Each structure stands twice: as C-alpha cells, then as structure tokens.
Copies of this chain bind each other. A is one copy, B any other.
C-alpha cells in the first residue's frame, strides 16, 4: 500500500469503516451461514484488515451480534418511518406492511441474517428476534385497539386485539420468509395479500363478519 493510499484509507471516519465491515459481514453471513462464514472472507469483502475488524467490532460472535442488532434496528426504523400516525388505522397498517416488505425486499441479505441465521444460531440472537417481534406486536395492537375503540366495541372485543396482532406479525414474518424463496413476486403484491388477510380478518371485530362452522 502506498503512502497516498494509506492516507486515504486512514482518513475514513470510524463509523464509515464500521458500516463497511457490517455491510460485508451481513453479506457473508447471509450467503454462508454463521458457521461457514470466515473472518478472512469478511475482511476481503469489506476491504478492511482482520486486525482492524477485531479492533473495531470484536470477534466473529460479536460481529454477528452487531449485524443482528443493526438489521433489527434498521427494520423497525424503516417500518416506523413509513407510517403517518395521523392517518386512519387501516392506512397505517397498509403503510407499515408496505414499509416492512419494501425493507425486506431491498435488504434480503439483512433479513436472511436477522431471521434465518439468527434462528438457526439460537441464544441471544433469537432473543433479539423475539424482542423485535414483541415490539411489532405492540405497534399493531395499538392500531387495532384504536380502531376497535372508535367503532365503539366493548372491552371483550378489544381484548382480542393482541391475539390478532400476534397473528398478523407471525403471518408477516412467515410470508417474508416464503418471499426469500420467491423473489419474483413484487413487494406490493406480497403486502396486499397480508393486508387483505389482516384487515378482512379484523372485519370479524369491527363488522361482525365471521366464519362459523356448520352443523
């Protein structure tokens, strides 16, 4: 490396260097899985030396934890940022689902690390996923409670909203996982499928529109 190159590399602020490392790590973990990912490959892809990676972000384990945390924070931020809380609840749910699937579609490697790799690694990584899911259920529940209350539903009906919110969030996660294997389907179509499922199902509460077993 020439003195000029060295100066250029050195001039990068730490957060830029860390982002390069995390971007590379997400890509490598996503493609290889945790166990088969090597620090050598992450160093190659990032264009950052291994000693610098260790100095900035620690061991492979620490690096994976940092990836899961960053992807989880970015995803929640993307969804929250996509929603205007002054709109009607159904539009908020729609915008939130669109933001979720847009994010997953643009950041497939990140979602793969966050969802598939974190689950298959277990431990603190899956705890992060569980915590994210709980926050998402809370957000959806708030929307459903607001809708149900506006429609003048009683306490019995509104107590059902958390169960529905859990179902909708589980459906979103499972659908996003399915989508990893069907990238040809547009984001908007995937979001619309879930919106129909969620909102039509919610019609049970707000309009008394229900399915009943026969006989």
Contact = CB atoms under 8 A, between A and B. Distances in A.
Interface of A: 90-91, 94, 119-123, 125-127, 130, 133, 137, 160, 162-164, 166-175, 177-179, 182, 185, 190, 192-204, 209-211, 213-214
A74 to B, nearest CB: 22
The 3 closest A-B pairs by CB, nearest first: A170-B174, A122-B122, A197-B201
Nearest to A195: B211
Contacts of A171: 167-168, 170-171, 174, 197
Given A119-B122, A171-B171, 11 more contacts: A119-B119, A122-B126, A133-B174, A163-B178, A163-B190, A166-B174, A166-B178, A197-B197, A197-B198, A199-B211, A200-B211
B185 A90 contact: no
Contact of A197 (B120, B125, B167, B178): B167
6 contacts: A120-B123, A171-B174, A173-B174, A196-B204, A199-B211, A200-B201
Given A91-B213, A170-B170, A164 B197 contact: yes
Contact of A94 (B185, B198, B213): B213
A105 to B, nearest CB: 14
